[in-house]
Amino acid sequence: MYAMPGGTAERIVHALKYHEWPAVARAMGRRLATLRFPRDVEEERAALVPVPLAVSRQRERGYNQSAELARALGAAWSLPVREDLLVRARATETQTRLTPGERHRNVSGAFRVTADRASLRGLHLVLVDDVVTTAATLNACAAALHAGGARILSFVTFGRAPALGDRW
């Protein structure tokens, strides 16, 4: 879903993230569940992994919006949600006003795998986030999981936010 600035998708994501409305994630997850992947990909997916929040951000918000989406999607796809595989090792600055290069530097090394390498070896994991802009966060998570032994990483997001340089 491509989120036009000020459009419905943007308002839904804002309600989820900033207006204490985690219940909207169920409808968002149902919408995401309609996405079709090639059959072999659907068969080999092992688990959904939500992008983790910093402890302080999760405490402030009361929930992780990506985990809420992952749970709804996991129920629809009959896949387990693994919140125990990846943690945010350090708090990062909000990405909303950063350039693509600043976003990459901001999240570089910010995630670490908590599972042992043997338990991840060869798995196809699907990272779940609410929105992608430059994919810096998703790529940093994928790098940590790949270094931890995962073989294939896919991404699924509800929306795509405009990046600097996008033209409308």
Alpha-helical runs (H) found in the chain = 8-18, 24-32, 39-44, 55-61, 65-77, 100-107, 117-120, 136-147
Burial letters for 3-22: b for 16+ Cβ neighbours within 10 Å, e otherwise? beeeeebbebbebbbeeeeb
- pLDDT bucket at 52, cuts 50 / 70 / 90: very high
What pLDDT is stored for residue 134 in this prediction?
79
pLDDT band for position 101 (cuts 50, 70, 90): confident
> 8-160 has which fold?
Rossmann fold (3.40.50)
Give the residue with greater pLDDT, 104 vs 68: 68
Please answer whether residues 43 and 124 qualify as being in contact, where contact means their C-beta atoms are separated by less than 8 angstroms: no
Residue 162, pLDDT score = 65
Asked whether the beta carbons of 10 and 136 are under 8 A apart, the reply is: no
Which token pair is 151? 């073989």
Under 8 Å between Cβ of 85 and 115: yes
Is the pLDDT score of 79 beyond 50?
A: yes
What secondary structure letter does DSSP report for 168?
-
Token pair 């950063």: residue: 98
User: For residue 20, is pLDDT > 50?
Assistant: yes
Pick the more confident residue, 58 or 167: 58
Which phi and psi angles does 75 have, rounded to 5°? -65, -40
Q: In 3-state terms, the chain is what percent helix, strand and coil (to 5)?
A: 40, 20, 40
Q: Using the predicted structure, report yes or no on whether residue 166 has a pLDDT greater than 50.
A: yes
Per-residue confidence at 44, pLDDT binned at 50, 70, 90? very high
* Residue ranges of domains in the chain: 8-160
Residue 46 backbone dihedrals phi, psi, to 5 degrees: -100, -35
